[in-house]
């Protein structure tokens, strides 16, 4: 798919994308509503050099100690911290963590401990971090005090031993063993004095270098959550829309209609809301010029070019019911009549005729069904009989052959050999014969009527007709001998004329001012129509002269 096709597909499926974005936004809001508030506060403390050795080795001045930072998340620290905060110890479990790092203090490398506390409010997180750091620092001080007591006890023991060895040496001055023991005791006392002195001069075991600040939220911000949700919804919507469009067999682009049918697309009729609401049924007869009425005139011209000598019989059918075949047939017939042609509109749809919606006063008489029924009964259908069945309309030059009474088997009735004679008779009595047929798909009626016409125009509805059915309808017409002149894409919402063409349309003021000129135009059409009826053997140039640019300006119909 090209970029343009992708953009068109996304525009067609815009409601899928909007729905996906809306669902994602709701999910994001629900997530924010169910999200538990969480705030984080940190405090950093520096361990003294002497204590850093104890933390690293687990031995302080020769005394085993348990001062590893992992105790911060144990009951040894959490219990007194909870007591200091006045909360249950369980409220701190899992919310306190510690990370160990290094810092440079003069020429000595010391350890730093970063305590992190999580709580539902920023103040609670700050208080918890402060309490844990304070308890941990106090615990280290207690360990130092306990270690000092142990060292002092060992020193007292060593002094007693040294005194005993001195007494023994005085009794036995030459005893080498006693002299050695005395030397060891003196060395132990010296080492203990050095260790005790280093502990006493070491200062605080831990110093807070970064106090706990009010907790910062760890939850994603509302803007981030909503933005991420909208982005995910947009991407999901685009993906769903493209997949949905890929598997959608409906016709969305008039340009694709010619590829499917194998014949040119004659016109894309714009979607007119007035027609859809049945405010206007015959825009071709309206003095106001609209995009739809101009498109009908363009379609009329295209068909006229394709017909032999600009005259003949054209059948209008569609892929499915409701595609607008009767609307197009009626407006084409009116458009030709306004161009000065003599036109006969045939109600060939004997199953669900709708011509009475457009020409309610011209549906009397036996109609096509009556003529074919009479032919089936053996009656002769001559020129006068067909002429008598035609009904006049309010549009000069336009007559109708109504569908007539309803029949049980329309396909069988249309298969009557008299149909060809009726169509030839009608072609002799008018410049253009327009046959409104049933839908071409799954019904033989359209193929039978199309085979009697000089050409068939197939309608497809934008946004509804399926590609496979369009191809099947075209093949069905061709297989029965019908000549498919082209296709028409109906209700194309993007079929718009540039704004620069607005000056070429009649405004309400100019329309009122030019109403009087229509009477003159009617007289011109009467003269041309009479000449066209009397001189049917004339040249094609004469027959089509009324549709020249000059004549169209004169009669004020386009």
Residue 528 has pLDDT above 60, yes or no: no
Same domain, 333 and 187: no
Verify that 282 and 407 share a domain, yes or no.
yes
Domain boundary among 465, 496, 527: 496
Q: How many Å apart are CA 522 and CA 535, to the nearest integer?
A: 20
Looking at residue 102, its pLDDT comes to 74
Regarding whether 242 and 208 lie in a shared domain, the answer is no
Where does a domain end: 496, 511, 541? 496
Measure the CA–CA gap between 47 and 26, rounded to whole angstroms: 50
Q: Are 468 and 371 in contact (CB under 8 A)?
A: no
Mean pLDDT, residues 191-219: 87
Mean pLDDT on 443-464: 88
Mean pLDDT of all residues in 537-546: 33
* 48 pLDDT above the threshold of 90: no
Neighbours of 283 (CB within 10 A): 23
**461 touches 323 (CB < 8 A):** yes
Structure tokens at 240: 């769903």
Backbone phi, psi, residue 218, to 5°: -95, -10
Q: What pLDDT score was predicted for residue 502?
A: 53
Question: What does DSSP assign to residue 466?
Answer: B
- In this model, does residue 518 exceed pLDDT 60? no
Predicted confidence at residue 40, as pLDDT, reads: 93
| Cα torsion angle, 263, 347, 535, 523, sign | negative
Average pLDDT over residues 112-131: 92
327 & 429 share domain: yes
For residue 339, tell me if it sits in a domain: yes
Flag whether 529 is in a domain.
no
**Which range among 104-113, 353-362, 521-530, 531-540 has the greatest average pLDDT?**
353-362
Instruction: Give me the mean pLDDT over the 373-397 stretch.
Output: 89
- The pLDDT of residue 504: 56
The pLDDT of residue 508 is: 41
Q: Are 393 and 505 in contact (CB under 8 A)?
A: no
pLDDT at 43 over 60: yes
More confident residue, 276 or 369: 369
Q: Which of 477, 496, 515 is the last residue of a domain?
A: 496
What is the average per-residue pLDDT within 155-174? 87
63 lies in the same domain as 114: yes
CA atoms of 261 and 251, how far apart (whole Å):
12
State the pLDDT confidence band at 500, using cuts at 50, 70 and 90. low
Residue 242 lies in a domain: yes
Which pLDDT score is estimated for 442? 67
Which H or E element spans position 114? strand 108-119
> Which of 310, 334, 343 shows the shortest CA–CA distance to 543?
310
Own/partner contacts of 500-505, CB < 8 Å, gap of 24 or more, are 504/289, 505/288, 505/289, 505/290
Do 237 and 168 lie in one domain? The reply is no
List strand residue ranges (DSSP E) for 319-409, in order: 343-347, 391-392, 398-401
Measured over the CA atoms of residue 375, residue 380, residue 381 and residue 384, the dihedral's sign is negative
Does 111 share its domain with 27? no
pLDDT at res. 197: 87
Judge contact between 112 and 209, C-beta under 8 A. yes
Instruction: Please classify residue 32 by burial: count the beta carbons closer than 10 Å to its beta carbon, then call 0-12 exposed, 13-18 middle and 19+ buried.
Output: middle
Closest CA to 312 of 523, 530, 556, 483: 483
HSE value, Cβ hemisphere, 13 Å, CA-based, for 104: 2
In this predicted structure, the answer to whether residue 546 has a pLDDT above a threshold of 50 is no
Task: Report H helices in 86-175.
Answer: 122-171
- What are the pLDDT digits (tens) for 296-347? 999 999 999 998 787 899 999 998 888 889 999 999 999 999 999 999 999 9
Sorting pLDDT into bands at 50, 70 and 90, what band is 203? confident
In a domain, 547, yes or no: no
Residue 531 belongs to what H/E stretch? helix 517-534
Question: pLDDT at position 132, please?
Answer: 92
Whole-number pLDDT of residue 104: 61
Judge if 307 and 452 occupy the same domain: yes
Region 376-387 average pLDDT: 87
In a shared domain, residues 302 and 424:
yes
In a domain, 310, yes or no: yes
Residues 6+ apart with CB under 8 A from 104: 110
Residue 276 confidence (pLDDT) above 80 = no
Average pLDDT of span 5-14: 81
Q: Which residue has the higher pLDDT, 405 or 497?
A: 405
Tokens 């458009």 belong to 335
Does residue 518 sit in helix, strand or coil? helix
506 confidence band (pLDDT: 50, 70, 90): very low
421 shares a domain with 452: yes
What is the domain-level CATH number for residue 278? 3.40.50.300
| Assigned domain for 555 exists | no
Looking at the structure of the chain, the number of domains it has is 3
- Between the alpha carbon of residue 233 and those of residues 21, 227, 405, 491, the distances in Å are 4, 10, 57, 31
The model's pTM:
0.59
Q: Which range of residues forms the domain containing residue 10?
A: 3-35+225-246
343 and 432 Cβ atoms separated by less than 8 Å: yes
Predicted local confidence at residue 131, as pLDDT: 92
pLDDT tens for each residue of 56-74: 888 888 888 888 888 888 8
- Nearest-10 Cα torsion for 280, 446, 294, 253: 100
Greater pLDDT, 558 or 109: 109
What is the rounded CA–CA span in Å between residue 323 and residue 283? 17
Q: How far is Cα of residue 188 from the mean position of the Cα atoms in its chain?
A: 84
Average pLDDT, integer, range 255-272: 85
Do the beta carbons of residue 206 and residue 48 sit within 8 Å?
A: yes
Please enumerate in sequence order all residues whose Cβ is within 8 A of that of 313, keeping only pairs 6 or more positions apart, or say none: 423, 426, 427, 432, 433, 435, 452, 453, 454, 455
pLDDT on residue 512: 36
Confidence of residue 520 (pLDDT cuts 50, 70, 90): very low
Q: With the C-alpha atoms ordered 503, 504, 510, 511, is the resulting torsion angle positive or negative?
A: negative
User: Are 350 and 434 members of one domain?
Assistant: yes
Higher pLDDT, 514 or 550: 514
| Residue 112 reports pLDDT greater than 60 | yes
pLDDT score for 62:
85
Taking residues 351-369, what's their average pLDDT?
A: 89
Task: Over range 385-410, report the average pLDDT.
Answer: 90
Asked, for residue 540, whether it belongs to a domain, the answer is no
DSSP string, 51-87: HHHHHHHSEETTEE----GGGGGSHHHHHHHHHHHTS
**Spatial separation of the C-alpha atoms in residues 65 and 74, rounded to whole Å:** 16
Could you tell me if residue 538 is inside a domain? no
Pairing relationship of beta strands 343-347 and 432-436 according to DSSP bridges = parallel
Per-residue confidence at 553, pLDDT binned at 50, 70, 90?
Answer: very low
Mean per-residue pLDDT for 81-98? 90
Say yes or no: 11 and 65 in one domain: no
């Amino acid at each position: 798919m090209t970029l343009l096709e992708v953009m068109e597909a996304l525009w067609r499926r815009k409601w899928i994308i909007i729905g996906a974005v809306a669902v994602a936004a709701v999910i994001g809001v629900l997530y924010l509503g169910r999200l538990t508030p969480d705030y984080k506060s940190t405090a950093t403390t520096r361990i003294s050099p002497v204590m850093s050795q104890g933390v690293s080795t687990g031995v302080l001045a020769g005394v085993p100690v348990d001062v590893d930072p992992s105790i911060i998340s144990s009951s040894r620290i959490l219990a007194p911290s909870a007591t200091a905060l006045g909360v249950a110890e369980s409220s701190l479990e899992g919310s306190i963590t510690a990370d160990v790092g290094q810092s440079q203090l003069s020429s000595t490398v010391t350890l730093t401990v970063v305590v992190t506390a999580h709580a539902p409010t920023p103040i609670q997180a700050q208080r918890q971090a402060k309490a844990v750091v304070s308890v941990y620092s106090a615990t280290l001080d207690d360990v130092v005090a306990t270690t000092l007591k142990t060292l002092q006890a060992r020193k007292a023991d060593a002094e007693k031993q040294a005194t005993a060895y001195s007494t023994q040496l005085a009794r036995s001055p030459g005893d080498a063993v006693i002299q050695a023991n005395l030397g060891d005791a003196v060395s132990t006392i010296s080492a203990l004095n050095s260790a005790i002195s280093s502990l006493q001069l070491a200062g605080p075991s831990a110093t807070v270098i970064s106090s706990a600040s009010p907790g910062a939220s760890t939850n994603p911000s509302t803007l981030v959550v909503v933005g991420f949700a909208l982005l995910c919804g947009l991407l999901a919507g685009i993906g769903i829309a493209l997949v949905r469009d890929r598997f959608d067999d409906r016709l969305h682009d008039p340009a694709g209609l010619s590829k499917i049918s194998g014949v040119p697309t004659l016109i894309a009729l714009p979607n007119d809301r007035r027609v859809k609401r049945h405010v206007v049924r015959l825009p071709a007869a309206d003095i106001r010029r609209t995009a739809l009425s101009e498109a009908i005139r363009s379609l009329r011209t295209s068909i006229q070019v394709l017909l032999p000598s600009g005259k003949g019989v054209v059948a209008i059918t569609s892929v499915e019911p409701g595609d607008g075949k009767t609307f197009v047939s009626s407006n084409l017939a009116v458009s030709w009549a306004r161009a000065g042609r003599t036109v006969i509109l045939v109600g060939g749809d004997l199953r669900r005729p709708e011509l009475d919606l457009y020409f309610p006063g011209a549906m009397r008489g036996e109609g096509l069904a009556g003529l074919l029924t009479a032919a089936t009964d053996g009656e002769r259908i001559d020129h006068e009989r067909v002429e008598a069945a035609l009904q006049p309309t309010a549009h000069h030059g336009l007559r109708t052959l109504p569908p007539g009474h309803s029949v049980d088997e329309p396909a069988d009735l249309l298969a009557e050999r008299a149909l060809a004679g009726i169509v030839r008779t009608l072609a002799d009595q008018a410049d253009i014969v327009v046959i409104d047929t049933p839908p071409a798909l799954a019904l033989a009626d359209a193929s039978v009527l199309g085979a009697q016409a000089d050409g068939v125009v197939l309608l497809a509805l934008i946004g509804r007709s399926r590609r496979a059915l369009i191809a099947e309808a075209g093949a069905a017409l061709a297989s029965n001998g019908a000549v498919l002149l082209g296709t028409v894409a109906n209700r194309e919402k993007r079929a718009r004329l540039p704004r620069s063409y607005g000056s070429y349309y009649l405004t309400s003021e100019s329309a009122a001012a030019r109403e009087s000129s229509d009477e003159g135009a009617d007289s011109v059409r009467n003269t041309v129509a009479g000449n066209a009826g009397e001189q049917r053997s004339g040249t094609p140039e004469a027959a089509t002269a009324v549709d020249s640019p000059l004549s169209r300006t004169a009669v004020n119909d386009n």
